[in-house]
């Protein structure tokens, strides 16, 4: 199972870049086998980070993992005839930093450790530290 699809890659980087990343036979079209291989490697890499906190693979992919998977797959697909640019490298490194933060517990995917969706409360809770300027503190006077 991959966290991103062919359509996600095309939406993220455009068809011409996806062709450049995958067209090893110079046919002028996206090679789905090459693209899916990159997405599978990226998804496997993501699982290595997430496995310490969450059950993997995810059955319903959190949206943040789609972009992360695309960035990692893009990096994985460079090297043949596609040059690895600073932007590709930077986005890959940022994706890995994010996954490291999730693995360390500094970031979350909005899920609990069992994979269920974390429910948020829409209520604010306020507590008072006590009166600062009560009658006793001001000697009975007001200001």
Which pairs count as long-range contacts for 116-120, CB under 8 Å and 24+ apart, including other chains?
A: none
- CA angle (75 as vertex; 70, 81 as ends), nearest 5: 120
pLDDT tens sequence for the chain (143 residues): 899 999 999 999 999 999 999 998 889 999 999 999 999 999 999 999 999 888 888 778 888 899 999 999 999 999 766 678 889 999 999 999 999 999 998 988 876 655 555 555 566 666 666 666 666 666 666 55
pLDDT tens figures, 23-50: 988 899 999 999 999 999 999 999 999 9
Residues 6+ apart with CB under 8 A from 64: 98, 109
Give the chain's count of helices (H) and strands (E): 5, 0
CB 76 within 8 A of CB 89: no
């Amino acid at each position: 199972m991959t966290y991103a699809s062919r359509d996600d890659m095309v939406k993220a980087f455009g068809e011409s870049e996806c062709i450049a990343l995958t067209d090893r036979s110079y046919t002028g079209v996206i090679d789905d086998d090459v693209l899916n291989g990159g997405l599978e490697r990226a998804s496997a890499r993501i699982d290595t980070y997430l496995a310490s906190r969450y059950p993997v693979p995810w059955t319903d992919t959190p949206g943040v993992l789609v972009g992360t998977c695309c960035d990692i797959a893009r990096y994985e697909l460079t090297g043949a005839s596609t040059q690895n640019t600073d932007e590709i490298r930077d986005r890959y490194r940022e994706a890995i930093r994010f996954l490291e933060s999730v693995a360390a517990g500094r970031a979350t995917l909005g899920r609990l450790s069992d994979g269920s969706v974390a429910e948020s409360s829409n209520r604010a809770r306020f507590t008072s530290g006590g009166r600062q300027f009560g009658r006793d503190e001001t000697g009975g006077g007001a200001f």
